[in-house]
Amino acid sequence: MKRSTLELLCCPSCQTELTLRDESGNTSGNEGELFCSHCERSYIIKNGIVHFTDLQELEGFNQRFARFYNRWSRFETIFDWLSFLPMGGERKARTEILRRLELNNGRALEVSIGSGGNLPYLFNSPEVGDVYGLDISVAQLTNCHRLATSRGWPVDLFLGKAEELPFESDSFDSVFHIGGINFFSEKKKAIDEMIRVARPGTKIVIADESEQVARTMARFFRLSRSTQNNKVDTSVPVHLVPETMKEVRVDGIWKTHGRYHGYCLEFRKPG
C-alpha cells in the first residue's frame, strides 16, 4: 500500500480516519496495522493488502462466495475463460464494459476486483491513473497482488465488503463493478456506498449476468436454499439507484446468438 493512500482510508464501521501503526520500521506500507481511535478497531496490513474484514465477519451470500473463491481461486483463470466463452470471449466481454469508464488519469476503484482480470485492459489505456481494488476473498486478492507486482502495476488492494467501503467520501474519479452484485448480501447498501465514495460528477458503472444466466448460477450454487422465501432476486438493480442520480441507463451486453447474457447499469453522481 502506498503511504499516500492512507489519506483516502477510513474505518468501514464508523468512517473515522485511520492512523498507521508500524513498529517494525517498515516504510513500504506492505506491513503494519491501521487503527481507528473512535471504535478502537485495528486492521492489519499483510503483504501489501489491508484487511478490513475476515471470513467470520461476513454474512449470507457474501460469506458463501468468499468461501468458494478462497477455495477455488487457483482455477479462476480457467473459470473466467469458460464463463466468458458464451459471451464472445473474455477480451470482448471485459472491454465492452471497461470502454464505458471515464478514467481521465484519475483514481479508479474496482469493487470486487477478484484476481485482477480487468487490470491488463485498464493498464492498456493511456488514461488510467491510480487503481484501487476491493474484494471479500483474500485468496483472490493474493492472486491479484501477485499479478500486479509481476507487471509493475501500481494497485492498492483491500479485503473488505462492498456494503462497507473503507474509503473517505468523494475520493474516486471512477467507480465500477463487474460481476457479483446479483448475489450481494445487501445490494442497495453496496450501491449507496459506491455513490458515497465517488466524487461529484463521477460516472458509476455496474455490470453483471442477465437474470436468466443468474438464475442458472443460483441453481448451480443452490442459493435458493439460503433464503427464507426460497427465491433469489436476480433482477437488474436499477430500482435501487437513488432518484437523485443523473443519466441513469441500462443496456444489454454480451450479446451472442441474438441474446444478451448480461446488463450494464450506468449513472452519474450529481456534480
Whether the Cβ atoms of residue 265 and residue 191 lie closer than 8 Å to each other: no
Size (the chain), residues: 271
Residue 123 sits in the same domain as residue 244: yes
pTM of the predicted structure, to 2 decimals: 0.92
Residue 14 sits in the same domain as residue 120: no
Residue 100 cell numbers, joined: 464505458
How many structural domains compose the chain?
A: 2
Q: How many CB atoms lie within 10 A of CB 201?
A: 12
pLDDT at residue 223 in the model = 59
The domain in which residue 27 lies consists of: 1-47
Residue 65 sits in the same domain as residue 163: yes
β-strands 49-51, 155-159: how paired?
Answer: parallel
Residue 99 sits in the same domain as residue 39: no
pLDDT at residue 148 in the model = 96
pLDDT at residue 228 in the model = 47
Residue 130 sits in the same domain as residue 257: yes
Residue 186 sits in the same domain as residue 263: yes
Cell 467520501: give the residue. Answer: 169
Residue 157 sits in the same domain as residue 31: no
Residues in the chain where the model's pLDDT stays below 50: 228-230
Residue 240 sits in the same domain as residue 117: yes
Residue 81 sits in the same domain as residue 15: no
Residue 133 sits in the same domain as residue 248: yes
Query: What CATH number has the domain bearing residue 104?
Result: 3.40.50.150
Residue 71 sits in the same domain as residue 166: yes
Residue 160 sits in the same domain as residue 34: no
Whether the Cβ atoms of residue 265 and residue 241 lie closer than 8 Å to each other: yes
β-strands 246-256, 259-268: how paired?
Answer: antiparallel
Give the whole-angstrom CA distance, residue 191 versus residue 177: 10
